[in-house]
Amino acid sequence: MDEVTFKSDTVLSDVHLYTPNQRHLMVRLNSMGQPVFLSQFKLLWNQDSQIDSGTEGGDYRDVPTEGNSAGTGSPQSPPGSGCSSEGVSLQTGADTTGQEGAGVQLDEDGDLDVLRRPRAASDPDPAWPPRDKVHPMILTQEEDDVLGDEAQESSTHSVIKIEHTMATPLEDVGKQVWRGALFLADYILFQWDLFQGRTVLELGAGTGLASIVAATVAQTVYCTDVGADLLAMCQRNIALNSHLIAPGGSVVKVRELDWLKDDLCIDPAVPFSWSEEDISDLYDHTTILLAAEVFYDEDLTDALFRTLARLAHRLKNACVAILSVEKRLNFTLSHLDVTCEAYDHFHASLHQLEKLRDGQLRFSVEPVEASFPQRLVYERIQQLLCWSLWKCLFGRDISESSNQQDVLLGN
């Protein structure tokens, strides 16, 4: 396969920009005839790991963080590795800019000013790894399994393997890996205590990356989306990463959950349908909901928030939804300006839900500070944002984050 041809309605994943010097093995064609690639995402468990994370115009920084400073109960070694946590610290690339500074940068004429990274050739002595190769190197099945050789060189507990596509129509973007999923995975690894032994539901899981990371610490994870081909990809990715999931005894269940339908599919003839036991467990034990990079379409955003409200009524326990989104800036002819309409609609919907009063049920919305450590190799940009949406308990004031987390943990 010498080159990839894109149509005018093709949405191109930039997964190859996260690890620009790695090669992505094309492993098969899916049922839609789309090439499926296998990529590795390295977990940074020790200080010997290198990270390439730029947040301000190519400013690359390695920020070592001592193990105890990463947050309450943060893991000090790979899950299931059997390694002692004593004396071990994590190499992290934290973005300390927080939520501020995510605005649009304009030049003197009012045009969008895009800060570009210098190529390696422009600096005879660069301080970071070369980034002059920013396109995927596509391998064929006949070539040596380079990915397999690389995986053997590192610990099996340091690599997440994900099958994904790189170019799809808009309706199939869930088959691609997006930066917001990696951002959400970082948050999960940071909030170890919050996820420990919990039942987690991911909405719009896509390739299942965030669900796989959640399964390294949670007890049960429901990885949900729509489309038999996409859900089959999720199932395959879970199998590829059993080395991360199995040691903790976690269970990952891939299920269909359509935001446009009020009820879960229980027809056993439908692939990835729900059993009565699944539904009972979901409503009785779920305390954490996840969603990453699913807010690109206004109708789907509205459907997701309706689904969140519906689930909040049916879940028996206090719960929190963690929502990860990339604030994408686009020049639109309708505004003749740079806007981020998808994010603006998401933000408005978020606060509309916060104002909702349905009996004693109410929601509390808070931004998540983006300074938590980075443990996956990708470019953490300022436009990556995270929000927490808390379902408040009846008759209890848990307006502060610490109080909300205590309630969720049963304190």
pLDDT tens digits, 342-381: 999 999 999 898 888 776 788 999 999 999 999 998 888 9
User: Comparing 407 with 191, which gets the higher pLDDT?
Assistant: 191
Mean pLDDT score of the chain, rounded to an integer? 76
Encode pLDDT of 9-68 as tens digits. 678 777 666 665 666 788 888 888 888 999 888 888 654 444 444 333 333 333 333 333
Let me know: does 394 contact 361? Beta carbons within 8 Å.
yes
Question: Is the model's pLDDT at 153 over the cut of 50?
Answer: no
Tally Cβ neighbours within 10 Å of residue 165: 24
Listed residue (161, 219, 125) closest to 376, CA to CA: 161
Listed residue (369, 373, 370, 367) closest to 70, CA to CA: 373
pLDDT of residue 94: 35
List the single range of 64-78, 143-157, 251-265, 388-402 with lowest mean pLDDT. Answer: 64-78
Q: Compute the distance between CA of residue 257 and CA of residue 265 in angstroms, rounded to an integer.
A: 8
Question: Is the model's pLDDT at 390 over the cut of 70?
Answer: yes
Question: Is the model's pLDDT at 154 over the cut of 80?
Answer: no
User: Comparing 156 with 85, which gets the higher pLDDT?
Assistant: 156
Tally Cβ neighbours within 10 Å of residue 59: 11
Tally Cβ neighbours within 10 Å of residue 392: 18
pLDDT of residue 246: 79
Q: Compute the distance between CA of residue 29 and CA of residue 184 in angstroms, rounded to an integer.
A: 28
User: Mean pLDDT highest for which of 49-53, 89-93, 277-281, 393-397?
Assistant: 277-281
Q: Compute the distance between CA of residue 118 and CA of residue 145 in angstroms, rounded to an integer.
A: 32
User: What is the pTM (predicted TM-score) of this model?
Assistant: 0.74
List the single range of 94-108, 182-196, 298-312, 355-369 with lowest mean pLDDT. Answer: 94-108
Helix-strand-coil split of the chain, %, nearest 5 = 30, 25, 50
Question: Is the model's pLDDT at 144 over the cut of 50?
Answer: no
Question: Is the model's pLDDT at 299 over the cut of 70?
Answer: yes
Residue range 277-289: average pLDDT? 97
pLDDT of residue 128: 53
Residue range 235-251: average pLDDT? 91
User: Mean pLDDT highest for which of 43-52, 225-234, 337-346?
Assistant: 225-234
Question: Is the model's pLDDT at 234 over the cut of 60?
Answer: yes
List the single range of 45-49, 108-112, 243-247 with lowest mean pLDDT. Answer: 45-49
Q: How confident is the model at residue 335 (pLDDT cuts 50, 70, 90)?
A: low
Please give the angle made by the CA atoms of 45, 53 and 290, to the nearest 5 degrees: 70
pLDDT of residue 3: 56
CA distances from 287 to 200, 222, 316 (A): 6, 12, 9
Question: Is the model's pLDDT at 287 over the cut of 80?
Answer: yes
